[in-house]
Structure 1
Amino acid sequence: MTAAETGFSDVVYDLVSVEYHALKGGYVYGQYVRDAENEGHREIAEFFRQVTREDAARAEKCHRFLLELSSAKAE
Structure 2
Amino acid sequence: MATGETGFDDVSYDLISVQYHSLKAGHDYGQYVRDAENAGRQDIADFFRRVMEEDSARAKQCHEFLKDMAASGDSGPAVG
Q: What's the TM-score bracket when you normalise by the shorter of the two chains? A: over 0.9
Structure 1 runs (4+) greater than 2 angstroms displaced: none
Residue type of the alignment partner of 1:10: D
Paired positions, count: 73
Question: Could you give the per-residue CA deviations for residues 11-45 of structure 1, whole angstroms, max 9, x where no partner exists?
Answer: 00000000000000000000000000000000000
- TM-score normalised to structure 2 length: 0.87
Which structure is higher in RCO with an 8 Å CA cutoff and minimum separation 6?
2
Q: CA RMSD in A?
A: 1.4
The answer for unaligned runs of 5 or more in structure 2 is: 75-80
Q: Is 1:19 aligned to residue 19 of structure 2?
A: yes
- TM-score normalised to structure 1 length: 0.93
In structure 1, what is the equivalent of residue 78 of structure 2? none
The answer for unaligned runs of 5 or more in structure 1 is: none
